[in-house]
Structure 1
Amino acid sequence: MQGEQRPPLVLVAPVGGRVVALTEVSDPVFAQQIAGPGVAVVPPAGTEPRSVLAPVAGRVVSLLPHAFAVESADGRTVLVHLGLGPRGAGNGTFSTHVDPGEVVDAGAHLVTWTPDAASAGGACPVVALQGDPALVALAVPTGSEVEAGEAVLRWT
């Protein structure tokens, strides 16, 4: 129906860590919100394997070892990028547990990521692809510590 407002889409943290404004990450494409608005989660330093979760329920439309996108049932797409540390994107080792086209629940385990010691994890952007910044809001204040699977954004 035209003019009908869609329900808010709650995006959950793909990894646990400290929530930072997307504008504070080192990569200018994310910091300038060229791909869309969002937030970043900075996981704690370490080289232990981390489960990376789906930020929303939907279909996996893109899957690289260090980045993936999930499209919700109503057509909104969320991008997750793992690591923007000093050694660049894709630092560490990755094991994917889903295939492109697969339908997943929010919080489903999609990737196992083991950051390398030099990267210390870096920031992990969570981006509402091509989203209107006026419709994307933080669910928790920046500086908050969140667990993987906790709400970090609301997209109306």
Structure 2
Amino acid sequence: MTTVTSPLAGRAIGLAAVPDPVFSGAMVGPGTAVDPVLEPCVAVAPVDGIVVSLHPHAFVVVDVEGHGVLTHLGIDTVQLNGEGFEVLINKGDTVRRGDAIVRWDPNVAVAAGKSPICPVVALEATAYALAAVSDGDTEVKTGDALFTWT
């Protein structure tokens, strides 16, 4: 079983509230989302593992059980071309839960008309494999449990 923790502080809102049909429809996978506190922050690893994909706006960490967890910092933030983001590690790095991955200012996304909501998705999982710990209008701190994956 893998516990997936919040990569940043904010409010856990559930994927259905994400203003993007790919995420809200769980097409990428089940999970939850965090509406972040609107201040500069550092997004951290939600699980122990290897960073297999790394972009300024999104990263995937795969744990020892092969569970890939996608953290997407904002919606349509790829269009910002890295503005407001600073990548702090390298693809292929081994990380521990809570290790800093990307420094981000969600206010840059908001100023550009983008949603700051951050989906945290269990890639290639089925909804029945997840148990929500914090889903639906729950304040979370960085590192608080979001869901478990069995």
Are 2:141 and 1:150 aligned?
no
Structure with the higher helix share, 1 or 2: 2
Give the structure-1-normalised TM-score.
0.87
AA at the equivalent of 1:113: W
Corresponding position of 1:82: 73
Match of 1:70, SS state, is: strand
**Given the alignment, which residue of 35, 42, 51 partners 2:42?**
51
Number of residues of Structure 1 aligned to a counterpart in Structure 2:
144
Corresponding position of 2:20: 27
Corresponding position of 2:57: 66
Match of 2:13, SS state, is: strand
Are 2:7 and 1:14 aligned?
yes
Are 2:130 and 1:136 aligned?
yes
Corresponding position of 2:99: 108
What is the CA–CA distance in structure 2 between the aligned matches of 1:108 and 1:150, rounded to whole Å? 14
Deviations 1:3-30 (A, max 9, x none): xxxxx10001011001111011111110
**Contact 2:49/2:94 (8 A) holds in 1:** yes
Corresponding position of 1:4: none
RMSD of aligned alpha carbons: 1.5
**Contact 1:43/1:121 (8 A) holds in 2:** no
Aligned residue runs from structure 1 range 89-128, under 5 A: 89-90=77-78, 91=80, 92-115=83-106, 116=108, 117-118=110-111, 119=113, 122-128=116-122
Runs of 4+ residues deviating >4 angstroms: none
Unpaired segments ≥5 residues, structure 1? 1-7
**Contact 1:20/1:39 (8 A) holds in 2:** yes
Structure 1 residues 27, 141: CA separation in 2 closer, same or farther (over 3 Å shift)?
Answer: closer
What is the CA–CA distance in structure 2 between the aligned matches of 1:141 and 1:95, rounded to whole Å? 28
**Contact 1:44/1:121 (8 A) holds in 2:** no
AA at the equivalent of 1:138: A
